[in-house]
Amino acid sequence: MMHTSLAFTLFSFVADFKTTLSHNQNCNNNLTQLAQMTGLNGMDLIIDGWFHERGALWPGQAMSLEVKEVLYHGRSKFQDVLVFESTNNGRVLVLDGVIQVTERDEFAYQEMMAHIPLYAHPNPEKVLVIGGGDGGILREIAKHPGVKEIYICELDGDVIEYSKKYLPTLAVGYDDPRVKVHVMDGAVFMDQNQDNFDVIITDSSDPIGPASVLFETPFYNAMHRSLRDGGIVCTQGESIWLHLDIIKPLIDSIKQIYTSVEYAYTTIPTYPSGQIGFIIATKNRGSCKQPKKSPSDEQQDDLKYYSADIHQASFVLPHFAKKAIFDA
């Protein structure tokens, strides 16, 4: 999901980028970048019945899904929104030309991003989600009866409404009475709520343009200040196949802030390279590789991907990635 704390800066950035594009002869090679930065109609990415996602962060490759029916297309205040029914992946949410979720495989991302930090914490009672407007992360947090309060900060309220209408299997998370929705800047909210959360989950977009600040040290400082002692943050951590040049310096940087910094991952077919990672960092707490508790039999029956075994295995990296990220 697009991280909402950056939306206020997006308009001036787009104006500058439009001028640059008029002189950029290479822009035709990146339809997704055009959509992200200029507001290109998302329908232009559907060609001969197929939606095509391309991106600067995964050059030389594309993800294409066959479109059965376009359910919605329009612009919110901040971004292009497209929802379509695909032939094999269920309903698909696309923001600014980038696939956010498909009904077929979304659980592999939502479950791991939510349950790794929640099961690594012995008693999480207060949880904050930044971004994640589709509601999938909320749905997973709501499976933890010990959590007393769930906050979500999503600046683009339209994404919440579209998800409730077109993606009810994800947006069911909003129905939980513990959920408190704040349509506002997540960074501002954290500044107003310091030493307040046991777990913070940031479901962010990729580090292109203004979203790049979410992968920089100041944002991790802000989360650290908003955590209670012993708290855990979990953020989208990009792909070991495509983004080691992003992951390595970020982890090196935030090691100066957090007690423990680790990288876990999940596999998901419709994400670039089929793999996406999570940066798991703690405030005065050790490693998160071993869950502090496991799902009950009833809870496990309600999960499709996460388990205590998968939790531990997700931190085991291929040698090339372990060496590149941790010099090990």
Helix, strand, or coil (residue 249):
helix
Tallying the residues shown for the chain, one arrives at 328
Helix (H) or strand (E) holding 119: helix 106-120
* Contact between residue 263 and residue 251 where contact means Cβ atoms under 8 Å apart: yes
Strands 50-53 and 46-47: antiparallel
Q: Which of 96, 105, 203, 206 is catalytic?
A: 203
| Residue-by-residue DSSP string for 35-91 | HHHH---GGGGEETTEEEE--TTSTT--EEEEEEEEEEEEE-SSSEEEEEEESSS-E
Q: What single-letter DSSP state applies at residue 302?
A: T
Is 203 an active-site residue?
yes
Task: With CA atoms as reference, report the closest residue to 247 among 209, 208, 279.
Answer: 279
Active site (catalytic) residues: 203
